[in-house]
Amino acid sequence: MMKGNERMGQNIVEKILSAHLISGELTPGREIAIRIDQTLTQDATGTMAYLQFESMGLDRVKADLAVSYVDHNTIQVGFENADDHAYLKSVAQRYGVVFSRPGNGICHQLNLERFGKPGGTLLGSDSHTPTGGGIGMIAIGAGGIDVAVAMGGGPFYLSAPKVTLVRLTGRLSPGVSAKDVILKILSVYGTNGNVGRILEYGGPGVATLGVPARATITNMGAELGVTTSVFPSDEVTRAFLKAQGREADWTELAPDPDAAYDQVLEIDLGTLEPMAACPHSPGNVKTIAALQGMRVNQVLIGSCTNSSYRDLKTVALMLRGRKISPDVEVGVAPGSRQVVDMLAREGLLADLVSAGVRILENACGFCIGNHMSPGSGAVSFRTSNRNFEGRSGTQSAQVYLVSPETAVAAALTGYATDPRTLAFTAVAEPAAFPIDDSMFLFRETAGRGVPGTEIVRGPNIGQVPQGRPLDRDLDGVVAIKVGDRITTDHIMPAGARLKYRSNVPQYAHFVFEHVDSGFYGRAVADRDAGLANVIVAGLSYGQGSSREHAAMCPMYLGVRAVIAKSIERIHRANLINFGIVPFVFDNPADYDGIGTGDHLVIDGLRAAVEGDGHALVRNTTRGTAFPVSVALSERQRILLLNGGLLAAVAAGAVS
């Protein structure tokens, strides 16, 4: 970084990005391209990512490491999920991808344990890929098509970020844990308005946090809307990697003494108290003291946020010799086989079972509403990272996001209870973890592949839809108008619907299913009548999952533009990748003068994208007009003009 003619030292973010920079400069807001060392996919997004990789015509993956995890749709009701798993296994062997079998665990926990390397870059087709920042990686969530490009050795494009230093001091009190740290940060910054920013953690308090705690914080940092979060790599990191038998992967990583930051947030860990994200947003944070005495019906512990050995041993010790409340349903989902192995070896599984806990599969399950949905109107305390309305699988459920300690306190009492009233036994990081990589297949052919492998394609494996070149003008209709903080779960429902993820024509039937059940019929009618569909939205459109189907399925249904007050980073990139123009209102108040069914016209749509991105929208239904704009790099212009990334590659417009 330069200050006048004087060169300043680099922070951790700048060090990693500089070492991986392919093009551009680290000026906040400018587009840069970086080299990706590792990629990960999970089954809910992976099938489409590998179908897109196949379409590129490459003979093998070219990233240093690519791993395909199966952790989302592990419940096999009907043939679809089993067929998708067979496809993923065969395509992994064919192209040199490491395949993590169902039951091995959750991708982010596993990648942290077995593959993460300080100072490296990781791109994953899951929005919680920033978990890798806990071990000192620049780990970013993206759409499957961006991950497919990275697997093929191509660069990843992003805006050079602003960097905020979160300076930690002090030490957490017993009963307060890493989940409370990130909930505190969410209470400060909220869930929108943080696009184009990376959080870097520093200060003397960092040394008091183990790698699993750091990973909890970076994992749920995704809910802030930041690009990613990263911790230093220090002796704590080294000890974790040594315990995993991977000390050779350790690299020290710290900011220069004179490193500069855009902002600094000071947090004294010793002042924090137990907190909860209340319905229906991770940013709706209150203290447990404010909720004291509220009845709790269900407690679920696990997910990629809080399923480590440290977290679950803490839970087991808190439950030892006790029984859960008879009015509370409790489930625990470990993050990996390694965690289960350690709990079993130490007799801790017996403590959980004896207390009345249901032991769940090592998978994402309850977090994505794929099982353990609460009863009607039930209050569910969960250690996961999202509590969007209906995400649990029950539209009327009230989901609160809490730490494992707070979850146990509620499980024992049946009410929201301050966990600091309970006794605690400190859990030390083990000197060695049991290592069994037998459920990671094809490590011997990683990066090489087996060309003769037959790829298994069940009837649920469809084709990747391609966009068409951008029209000269837009003649369209508002297919739906939605409000603020519409998530990708609102756009494309998860849970049981995810089994159609490999079949876009089928999955498209459920676009906006829980927001407006008439959307699909209207969109098809408009598309077939030759009209472009337009989505109008409020603030922070496209929060949440990196699921590119939230752009791909609308594209299939004829959506050509989104006009919103603001759009979140990953979803905006996915819209461009699938040829949908992501406009924002120049004057947010113009949102109020539009309704579903209004006829919209943009004369010179293509010229606007080719030019400065400014356009005038005429609402012929209401006789009004309003300005919109889209800020694009040259590469993004090419993608939109050609109808998306795959269409641009096919046309030879990009390589």
State CA 217 to chain mean position distance. 13
Per residue in 229-270, pLDDT (tens digit) is 999 999 999 999 999 999 999 999 999 999 999 999 999 999
Topology of domain 474-649, CATH: Aconitase; domain 4 (3.20.19)
SS3 assignment, position 418: coil
126 part of the active site: yes
End-to-end CA distance of the chain: 31
pLDDT above 50 (res 4): no
What does R_g of the chain's alpha carbons equal in angstroms? 24
Q: Which of 37, 43, 71, 311 is catalytic?
A: 71
Bridge-based pairing state of the strands 2-3 and 197-202? unpaired
Phi then psi for residue 500, to 5 deg, are: -95, 10
Report the distance separating Cα 314 and Cα 60, nearest Å: 43
Query: Span 144-153, mean pLDDT?
Result: 94
386 part of the active site: yes
Report the distance separating Cα 643 and Cα 637, nearest Å: 10
Q: Which of 126, 249, 351, 590 is catalytic?
A: 126
Report the distance separating Cα 165 and Cα 230, nearest Å: 10
Q: Do domains 2-271 and 275-419 have the same CATH topology?
A: yes
Per residue in 364-375, pLDDT (tens digit) is 888 888 888 999
Going by pLDDT thresholds of 50, 70 and 90, the confidence category of residue 6 is low
Q: What is the pLDDT of residue 500?
A: 83
Report the distance separating Cα 595 and Cα 482, nearest Å: 10
Q: Which of 545, 571, 590, 598 is catalytic?
A: 545
- Domain 2-271 belongs to what architecture? 2-Layer Sandwich (3.30)
SS3 assignment, position 548: coil
Sheet of 138-141: strand order equals: 138-141, 121-124, 38-42, 65-69, 98-100, 440-441
Q: Describe the crossing of helices 404-413 and 309-319 by its angle, rounded to 10 degrees.
A: 20
Contact assessment for residue 236 and residue 195, using Cβ atoms and an 8 Å cutoff: no
Report the distance separating Cα 334 and Cα 538, nearest Å: 37
Per residue in 471-491, pLDDT (tens digit) is 999 999 999 999 999 999 899
Percent over 90 (pLDDT), the chain: 84
Q: Which amino acid makes up residue 323? A: K
Q: Which of 214, 547, 549, 560 is catalytic?
A: 547
Question: Do you find a cis peptide bond into 599, omega within 30 degrees of 0?
Answer: no
- Closest to 564 (Cα-Cα) out of 589, 596, 545, 539: 539
pLDDT above 90 (res 546): no
pLDDT above 80 (res 449): yes
Q: Which of 20, 43, 68, 72 is catalytic?
A: 72
Q: Which of 20, 128, 310, 386 is catalytic?
A: 386
Which letter does DSSP use for residue 275 in this model?
E
Q: What is the pLDDT of residue 3?
A: 46
Per residue in 504-525, pLDDT (tens digit) is 999 999 999 999 999 999 999 9
- Domain 275-419 sits in CATH at 3.30.499.10
72 part of the active site: yes
Phi then psi for residue 600, to 5 deg, are: -115, 140
Q: Describe the crossing of helices 337-345 and 309-319 by its angle, rounded to 10 degrees.
A: 40
Report the distance separating Cα 598 and Cα 596, nearest Å: 6
pLDDT above 60 (res 128): yes
Report the distance separating Cα 457 and Cα 453, nearest Å: 12
Percent over 70 (pLDDT), the chain: 99
Domain ranges of the chain: 2-271, 275-419, 474-649
Question: Burial, 234: exposed, middle or buried (Cβ in 10 Å; 0-12, 13-18, 19+)?
Answer: middle
CA atoms within 13 A on the CB side of 406: 32
**HEC-encoded secondary structure of 171-227:** CCCCCCCHHHHHHHHHHHHCCCCCCCEEEEEECHHHHHCCHHHHHHHHHHHHHHCCC
Global pTM value:
0.91
Identify the H or E element spanning 228: strand 228-230
When the pLDDT of each residue in the chain is averaged and rounded to a whole number, the result is: 94
Map tokens 């999920």 to a residue.
81
Q: What is the pLDDT of residue 475?
A: 97
Q: What is the pLDDT of residue 202?
A: 98
Query: Span 275-286, mean pLDDT?
Result: 96
Identify the H or E element spanning 543: none
86: how many CB neighbours lie within 10 A of its CB? 16
545 part of the active site: yes
